[in-house]
Amino acid sequence: MPQSDMPTMRSKRLGNELRRLRRAQELTVSEVADRLECGQPKISQIENGKRGIRPIDLTILLDLYGVTDESHRRSLKQLAKDIHKVDWWTSQGPLLHGALKDYLTLEADSELVREYEPSVIPGLLQTEAYMRRLFTAVKPADQVEPLVQARMRRKELLDNHPGFRLNVVIDEPTLHRIPGPRTEASEQLRYLIEAGRRPNVMLQVLPLKARLPIDQYVPFSLFRFRGEAAIDVVWLEHTSGGTLLEQVCDVQVYMQVWSVFTAAALSPSASRSFIGELIKENRS
């Protein structure tokens, strides 16, 4: 991958982790550069995700930083290799903005995605009709169909990636705000019930009557990356893009929120029954 194509989400993740490890050892950029027999700019570029790193240099750094856990070492070495991986969305050009490509990379690299949505159906559980209405409302007409096809391709994760799991908590108002005629709303609700029966999907509805601490809850996703050393990060969704949180203290906050949500939400079976009742209401 040309250096001009960086930083990517993977190179930034690797750089952030190497920076964290260096600081934990109280080493300066200058000291690390001396160990690799290179200039300080190279170390800074690696840590900022602006360039990749040779396997031999990565091994030297892991030794220098005292990383003895073999699973952690393997995960970082795999991540370094994957910096140069060409994903299907890289050819989509400006159609998919940078933040969305970052999200797709996180999703594709994960073994477990936990997602809380207070206003829209999670992307991997949307019907094609639902997607089309969402995109039609906010995108130029010539972009709608390509965006729908891109999202439909995302859904292949649920079928074609062994070991991939999706856990979602959907706030009840989302189920009442499905756009389009009742037939489309019912189709989307039925799709949620079917998806919730899949062995790799756990779907819970957070009812209005659920008792939660008073706070402002934004949409977020927790990603656990594949690899023997499980690493969790948080993606915060907002109107103009998204923000990645990797610091352990930040991730722990959202892990705690997730625990609160899953405890307060209906069980998966009760959630499917709840959605079934909504379908009946749609018919009346």
If one counts the domains in the chain, the total is 2
Q: Which of 35, 54, 82 is the last residue of a domain?
A: 82
pLDDT: which is higher, 98 or 219: 219
In tens, the pLDDT along 46-97 reads 999 889 999 999 999 999 999 998 888 988 898 898 888 777 667 665 666 7
Q: Is 201 exposed, middle or buried (0-12, 13-18, 19+ CB in 10 A)?
A: buried
Helix axes 182-196, 268-283, angle to 10 degrees: 160
Token couple for 148: 């729908």
- Assess whether 132 and 269 both reside in one domain: yes
Average pLDDT, the chain: 89
- Assess whether 128 and 234 both reside in one domain: yes
Q: What is the per-residue DSSP string for 142-195?
A: HHHHHHHHHHHHHTTHHHHSTT-EEEEEEEHHHHH---S-HHHHHHHHHHHHHH
Average pLDDT over every residue of 176-204: 95
Distance separating the N- and C-terminal Cα atoms of the chain = 57
- Assess whether 158 and 43 both reside in one domain: no
Indicate whether 1 pLDDT > 80.
Answer: no
Confidence of residue 173 (pLDDT cuts 50, 70, 90): very high
CA–CA dist 172, 159 (Å, integer):
27
Q: Which of 52, 82, 112 is the last residue of a domain?
A: 82
CA–CA dist 194, 145 (Å, integer):
25
- Assess whether 69 and 164 both reside in one domain: no
- Assess whether 75 and 143 both reside in one domain: no
- Assess whether 53 and 77 both reside in one domain: yes
> Does the reported pTM lie above 0.85?
no
Amino acid at 158: L
In tens, the pLDDT along 219-269 reads 999 999 876 556 788 999 877 778 888 888 899 999 999 999 999 999 999
Q: Which of 49, 82, 115 is the last residue of a domain?
A: 82
**Which domain does 55 fall in, by range?**
3-82
User: Facing residues of 110 across strands?
Assistant: 225
